[in-house]
Structure 1
Amino acid sequence: MIPPILHQTWKTDSVPARFHAYADSWKRHNPNWTVMFWSDRMLLEFVAEHYPDFLPMFCSYTNGVQRSDAARCMLLHHFGGIYADIDCECLAPFDPIMDETRVVLCKEPASHAAIQADLRGLPYLLFNGTMASPAGHPFWIQVLSLMRRLASAKNVLDATGPCLLTSAQLAYSDQAAFAIHPSGLFTPVTPAGSAKREAGDDTAALSIHHWAGTWWIPEPPPTWRTRLRNRAYRLRYQLTRGAYLDEAEAKASVDKAVLSAPPPSGRNIAVLVPLRDAADLIQPFLDALDGLDYPKDRIKLVFCEGDSLDGSWERLQAATAGLAGKYRDIVLLRRQVGTRLDRAKRAKPSMQRVRRGAIAKVRNHLIDHGLKEDDDWALWIDIDVWRFPGDVLNRLIATGHRIAVPNCVKIAGGGSFDLNSFVIRRQTKDYRYYREIRGGLHQPPAQTPNRYHLGDVRHLDIIGLDAVGGTMLLVDAALHRGGLRFPETPYRDLIETEAFGVLANDLGVRPVGLPKLEILHVPW
Structure 2
Amino acid sequence: MSPSPRSLRRTNPISVVLALLLAVGFIYFIFSEPSDGAASNQIRDATKSAANALSPPSLPFRKPKDDEELVATPVVHYMMSNLTNSAEAEAKQETVLILTPLARFYQEYWDNLLSLSYPHELISLGFILPKGKDGNTATQLLQEQVAKTQSGSKSKRFASITILRQDTESPLQTQSEHERHKLENQKARRAAMSKARNSLLFTTLGPRTSWVLWLDSDIIETPPTLIQDLAAHDKPVIVPNCFQRFYNKELGRMDVRPYDFNSWVDSPTAQAMGEKMGKDDILLEGYPEMATYRTLMAYMVEPDGDTTKEVQLDGVGGTALLVKADVHRDGAMFPPFAFYHLIETEGFAKMASRLGWKSWGLPNYFVFHYNE
After superposition, residues 8-407 of structure 1 pair within 5 angstroms as 263-264=85-86, 267-276=94-103, 278-279=104-105, 281=106, 283-310=107-134, 311-324=137-150, 326-343=157-174, 344-407=178-241
For residues 341 and 428 of structure 1, the distance between their equivalents in structure 2, rounded to whole angstroms, comes to 28
Change (3 A) 1:430 1:314: same
Preserved CA contact (<8 Å) 2:279 2:338: no
Preserved CA contact (<8 Å) 1:416 1:454: no
Query: C-alpha offsets along residues 465-487 of structure 1, whole Å, 9 cap, x if unaligned?
Result: 10111100001112213321111
Matched residue of 1:383: which SS? coil
After superposition, residues 475-494 of structure 1 pair within 5 angstroms as 475-494=323-342
Change (3 A) 1:314 1:414: closer
Match of 1:474 in 2: 322
Match of 1:514 in 2: 362
- Over the aligned positions, Cα root-mean-square deviation in angstroms equals 2.6
Matched, 1:456 2:299: yes
Preserved CA contact (<8 Å) 1:433 1:442: no
CA shift for structure 1 position 433 = 7.5
For residues 274 and 357 of structure 2, the distance between their equivalents in structure 1, rounded to whole angstroms, comes to 29
For residues 374 and 319 of structure 1, the distance between their equivalents in structure 2, rounded to whole angstroms, comes to 26
Change (3 A) 1:432 1:387: same
For residues 470 and 368 of structure 1, the distance between their equivalents in structure 2, rounded to whole angstroms, comes to 17
Change (3 A) 1:329 1:471: same
Count of residues paired in the alignment: 261
Matched, 1:418 2:252: no
CA shift for structure 1 position 314 = 1.6
For residues 140 and 108 of structure 2, the distance between their equivalents in structure 1, rounded to whole angstroms, comes to 16
For residues 293 and 328 of structure 1, the distance between their equivalents in structure 2, rounded to whole angstroms, comes to 14
Gaps of 5+ in 2: 1-79, 247-254
Change (3 A) 1:269 1:444: closer
Match for residue 442 of structure 1 among 279, 283, 287: 283
CA shift for structure 1 position 268 = 0.8
Matched residue of 2:169: which SS? coil
CA shift for structure 1 position 374 = 1.2
For residues 434 and 347 of structure 1, the distance between their equivalents in structure 2, rounded to whole angstroms, comes to 25
Higher relative contact order (CA 8 A, sep 6+): 2
Matched residue of 2:131: which SS? coil
Preserved CA contact (<8 Å) 1:414 1:455: no
Match of 2:44 in 1: none
Given residue 196 of structure 2, which amino acid in structure 1 is its aligned partner? V
For residues 300 and 270 of structure 2, the distance between their equivalents in structure 1, rounded to whole angstroms, comes to 22
Given residue 360 of structure 1, which amino acid in structure 2 is its aligned partner? S
Given residue 397 of structure 1, which amino acid in structure 2 is its aligned partner? A
CA shift for structure 1 position 350 = 2.3
For residues 146 and 311 of structure 2, the distance between their equivalents in structure 1, rounded to whole angstroms, comes to 36
Matched residue of 1:340: which SS? coil
For residues 428 and 341 of structure 1, the distance between their equivalents in structure 2, rounded to whole angstroms, comes to 28
For residues 444 and 298 of structure 1, the distance between their equivalents in structure 2, rounded to whole angstroms, comes to 35
CA shift for structure 1 position 299 = 1.1
Percent identical among aligned pairs is 29
CA shift for structure 1 position 392 = 1.4
Normalised by the length of structure 2, the TM-score is 0.64
CA shift for structure 1 position 380 = 0.6
Given residue 416 of structure 1, which amino acid in structure 2 is its aligned partner? P
Preserved CA contact (<8 Å) 2:318 2:345: yes
For residues 449 and 361 of structure 1, the distance between their equivalents in structure 2, rounded to whole angstroms, comes to 26
For residues 433 and 411 of structure 1, the distance between their equivalents in structure 2, rounded to whole angstroms, comes to 37
Given residue 362 of structure 1, which amino acid in structure 2 is its aligned partner? A
Matched residue of 1:337: which SS? strand
Match of 1:20 in 2: none
Query: C-alpha offsets along residues 250-308 of structure 1, whole Å, 9 cap, x if unaligned?
Result: xxxxxxxx9xx9844652111101111x13x1x32111111112111111111111124
CA shift for structure 1 position 450 = 2.2
CA shift for structure 1 position 323 = 2.2
Given residue 370 of structure 1, which amino acid in structure 2 is its aligned partner? T
Given residue 198 of structure 2, which amino acid in structure 1 is its aligned partner? N
Change (3 A) 1:467 1:352: same
CA shift for structure 1 position 446 = 4.2
For residues 232 and 160 of structure 2, the distance between their equivalents in structure 1, rounded to whole angstroms, comes to 24
For residues 432 and 439 of structure 1, the distance between their equivalents in structure 2, rounded to whole angstroms, comes to 11
Match of 2:53 in 1: none
For residues 225 and 353 of structure 2, the distance between their equivalents in structure 1, rounded to whole angstroms, comes to 27
For residues 346 and 428 of structure 1, the distance between their equivalents in structure 2, rounded to whole angstroms, comes to 23
Given residue 298 of structure 1, which amino acid in structure 2 is its aligned partner? L
Preserved CA contact (<8 Å) 1:339 1:358: yes
CA shift for structure 1 position 439 = 6.4
Matched residue of 2:171: which SS? coil
Matched residue of 1:404: which SS? strand
Preserved CA contact (<8 Å) 2:241 2:361: yes
Change (3 A) 1:428 1:511: closer
